[in-house]
Every structure is written in C-alpha cells, then in structure tokens.
Structure 1
Amino acid sequence: METADTALLRFRDATDADVPGLVELIESAYRGDESRAGWTTEADLLDGTRTDAEGVLAVVRAPGSRLLVVERDDDLVACCQLEHRGDAAYFGMFAVRPGLQGAGLGKLILAEAERDVRERWGVRTMQMTVISVRDELIAYYERRGYRRTGERSPFPYGQERFGVPRRPDLEFERLEKELGQEPHAR
C-alpha cells in the first residue's frame, strides 16, 4: 500500500473544466462496484448516483464555497468541498480514489482543509454531516478530533439526486471540530 506525502500533492480550486473528472472521482469513491475497493463506499446503503455535473458545478460556482482539487503527478486523486458558514466552515463532498484509500491521504487532506479555512476565513469550527449508520466513518473523524453533536436531520428520501436508499433508517448526523490555533512548527 502506498503512503501519502503532502510534498507530492498539489491543492487548487476546481474550475468548470474539472467537473467531469470530479463527478467520476466522487462516484468511484461512494457508489458502485469500483467504490468497494476503498472503505468509504456507500454501495450497501444507497443505489443511484452520489452527485452529478450540475451538483458539482453548483459547488464550484457558489459564493463562499470552494471545491478543493487534490492532484499528484497531474492526476486527480481527491477533492473536498469547503463552504464558509458564518463562524464555521462546512466540509463535504470528500472523495479519495478508492485504490489510494487507507494510506493516510485523507488525513493529510483533512488537515490541509482545516488549515486553509482557519487562514482564509478565520473560522475556528469545522462542521460536516455523515450518514449516522456509518460507524466506521464516524470513528475515523472522531480520531481526528471531531465530535458527534447529536444533531440529526432526515435523509431526503424520494429525492433520487441524493441516491436511492437501500434501507429505511438513514439520517444525517452533524459532526464538528473546534480548530483552535495553528500549532507552532518545531
């Protein structure tokens, strides 16, 4: 298994031209058989699509929102959405190529996203929503300092653009992390 190294990564804002590649990346990380190569798959929970070109383009173009592209050797390897929400930032649409998952790349990208929102927007809290039955994913974020808030919201059953649920008990749970100050380099 490869290990991740931030020195080899390039972070930049997505452009309209990136949308087809981003849709493919996000779909590969969450839906269908290809997603089963990684551990972030939602294939056992949801059928259908995770996103589409219209949804990704909306994030790319939205004021106060950025879709961060992560490249290594000019290959698109990951992405995440960062959205400024007052005193907080929202972290979403996080995808890492399935074959690269489990090597520490996600941890590096999450840390860069947290650093970026502290510096760019001056926020001290990062928020996200996770499907509440995704225990392994929630534990991953808890190991990185996120906490369960207990705040839940319903899954949008009947709105196929979010996927077609394979079970009746899906809902979102909000996680958050106080970002604090950037640690001093030693």
Structure 2
Amino acid sequence: MVTIRQNAFDFSRFTLKNATPDHCDDICKLVNMTYRGKAGWTRETDIISGNRTHIGEITAAMSRPDAQFLVVYRERLLAACIYLAKEQQHAYIGFFSVHPNFQGRGIGKHVLQQAEIIAKQQLQARKIVMFVVSQRHELIAFYQRRGYQRTDRIEEYPLHRGIGTPRVHGLTIEYLEKYIEKLV
C-alpha cells in the first residue's frame, strides 16, 4: 500500500499526461473506486450497484482517434484521470475521477481546469458537455461552482450501457455544459 503524505501539493508538478493502453487497468480500478467505492466525498454507492465501468469500455474509449484519457500519477498511484472526446464543436468529459486519498485538496478543480484548456487548445472545442446522475446533487453543485450549467436534457439511467443497476426508482442522468471559448 502506498502511503500518501498530507502536505500541500505543488500543482506545477501535478500535470495531466496522455494515458497509454498500459494505464487501462489503473483507470478502470480508479473509476470504479471513486464512483462506487466506500471512500470519498461523493459517490454513487448508495444509489447504484455494480461497477461503473469495465476494462472493455475503457479500452474502447481510449482507442477512439478523436479522444484521449489524461492521467496523473503521484507516488506510483493513479491520483486522477479524465476523459476527453471531440464531438462536433464540443468536447465530452467523462470518467473524471480523483483518488479518495487526494480528494478535498483542490486537485479535482485543477484537473478539470487543465482538461478544459486541453479541450479548447487541442480539440478546438467551444464548449464542454458531460452527463451526471441527476440525484447526485453535491456533484452537480461542484460543477456549477466551476461554471457548468444544467441543460434541459434529462434521460433515464442508461441500463443498456452496463454501468450499474439503480438501487433507487426513477434514476436519471442529466447533461451539463460550459462554454470555454474565453479560456486562455
């Protein structure tokens, strides 16, 4: 087990790098831990059972030519990951995860800002779109504090994707978006 020191982070050394196929297993484990694990400030464990993802989904997402997983390791531990995919004039963000040992220190904000800059500069995106389980109010509030806005697009929970089974009736997902044209 890797021991994490509780000191302040030097964010200049906390930079996202492109993931390789060798990272797929670590990404899968991190995403499942942060979404459906028992630790962390927000998770889906009480409302959705089963894994959030599987290695096949991660591998398929990584193999898209217009997409990339971005990762950052700290002391040999995958500390954070985020997925960016170009879709028309916008970028889609998904699989955003920060290891519970690193949560609550501003790392999520930092990673999200870096991903937004990459989406604008490398993908030429004008906005970012994501979906969130509608019943995760604290997570939606996190994104709203970072400039994401709710849209009117709400859908039933996507059982067909094999990303878990709702534990509560009426689970939905909703789409959030943020225009990033003015980012440097």
Considering the TM-score relative to the shorter chain, is it more than 0.5?
Answer: yes
Runs of 4+ more than 6 Å apart: none
C-alpha contact 1:84 1:121 (8 A) present in aligned 2: yes
1:71-86 equivalent positions in 2, closer than 5 A: 71-86=73-88
Count of aligned pairs: 179
Instruction: Give 1:30-49 correspondences, 5 Å limit.
Output: 30-31=35-36, 35-49=37-51
Alignment of 1:67 onto 2:69:
yes
Written as runs of structure 1 = structure 2, the 5 A alignment for 1:1-186 is 2-31=7-36, 35-157=37-159, 159=160, 161-183=162-184
Q: 1:15 to 1:160 in 2, by over 3 A?
A: same
Give the RMSD, CA atoms, in angstroms.
Answer: 1.5
Displacement of 1:100 after TM fit?
A: 1.1
In 2: Cα distance, 1:178 partner to 1:165 partner? 31
Q: Report the alpha carbon displacement of residue 10 of structure 1 after superposing the two structures with TM.
A: 3.3
How far the C-alpha of 1:160 sits from its partner, in A, is: 7.1
Output the CA distance in 2 between the equivalents of 1:131 and 1:90.
Answer: 15
- Code of the aligned partner of 2:20: T
Of residues 47-56 and 69-78 in structure 1, the stretch that sits farther from structure 2 once superposed is 69-78
Distance in 2 (CA, whole Å) between partners of 1:68 and 1:165 is 28
Structure 1 residue 122, shift from structure 2 partner: 1.4
User: What is the CA distance between 1:2 and its match in structure 2?
Assistant: 4.8
CA distance in 2: counterparts of 1:4 and 1:18, whole angstroms: 23
* TM-score between both structures, scaled by the size of structure 2: 0.91
Q: CA deviation at 1:98?
A: 1.0
* Counterparts of 2:85 and 2:102, CA distance in 1: 25
From the superposition, tell whether residues 149 and 3 of structure 1 become closer, same or farther in structure 2 (CA, over 3 Å). farther
CA offsets 1:82-130 (integer angstroms, 9 cap, x no match): 0001110001110110121111100000000000011002112011000
CA drift at 1:38: 0.5
* Distance in 2, Cα, partners of 1:75 & 1:62: 25
The alpha-carbon deviation at position 54 of structure 1 amounts to 0.5
* Unaligned segments of structure 2, at least 5 residues: 1-5
5+ residue gaps, structure 1, are none
